Chains A and B, each alone.
Chain A
């Protein structure tokens, strides 16, 4: 089944403890992106990657890092999480020519 898989689905962590949210897609898509969703703000793009080793900042990149060493994986790294990064996070992928993006099921992160 074609899908974008994020792990974990839920995570509670403490301020300053480094964490990684994984994202993997099995559709051989070139493009991958991370979004965060907060009430009343919709989805805001954090980082995106147009292909292996090609990444760029979205609209809210502060406090996040990404890497794209393989086409299928695009992990989101929070080196020193803070409470304002408590949010619902989505990974998405898209084939270069496609109109639509496929989203993962989301990761609900709480930083205390």
Chain B
């Protein structure tokens, strides 16, 4: 089987930096993705790491360490619109299976 662990909630103020950690246990690991979801709407893709290291996309960055089975999403210069749920997801093997963590609810306060 597989498991992904991420914190359930994080609260921060506007302008702050938030790091959401994700640890995983899975066979056939292929890559780690991050998705954002607002209020039960469609999840939207943020980032993907197939190799170790940092991927930067504007205010959001994602990191992967395959040897530690660990990754994180870094949200910088937090804005109110960043209040949402964030999910890490493991791509297993090359068969398009994607397993999600339970999600982290980020609340941004003024």
Contacts and interface: CB of A to CB of B under 8 A. Distances in A.
B68 interface: no
Contact of B96 (A40, A50, A103): A50
Contacts of B43: 43, 90, 103
B81 interface: no
Interface stretch (A17-25, A75-83, A94-102): A94-102
A88 B40 contact: yes
- Describe A's contact surface by its main secondary structure: strand
Given A40-B102, A48-B97, A103 B42 contact: yes
B71 interface: no
Counting contact residues on chain B (CB < 8 A from A), the size range is 20 to 34
Given A100-B48, A106-B40, A31 B96 contact: yes
Contacts of A40: 8, 102
Given A99-B33, A100-B33, A45 B42 contact: no
B48 A99 contact: yes
A106 B40 CA distance: 8
Contact of A42 (B33, B44, B87, B97): B87
Contacts of A102: 45
Interface in B1-56: 4, 8, 31, 33, 40-45, 48, 50
Contacts of A45: 97-99
B103 to A, nearest CB: 5
Contacts of A104: 42
B99 A105 contact: no
Contacts of A103: 42-44
Given A43-B89, A104-B42, 9 more contacts: A33-B96, A42-B101, A43-B43, A48-B97, A50-B95, A58-B97, A99-B31, A105-B42, A106-B42
Interface of A: 4, 31, 33, 35, 37, 40-45, 48, 50, 56, 58-59, 88, 90, 94, 99-106, 108
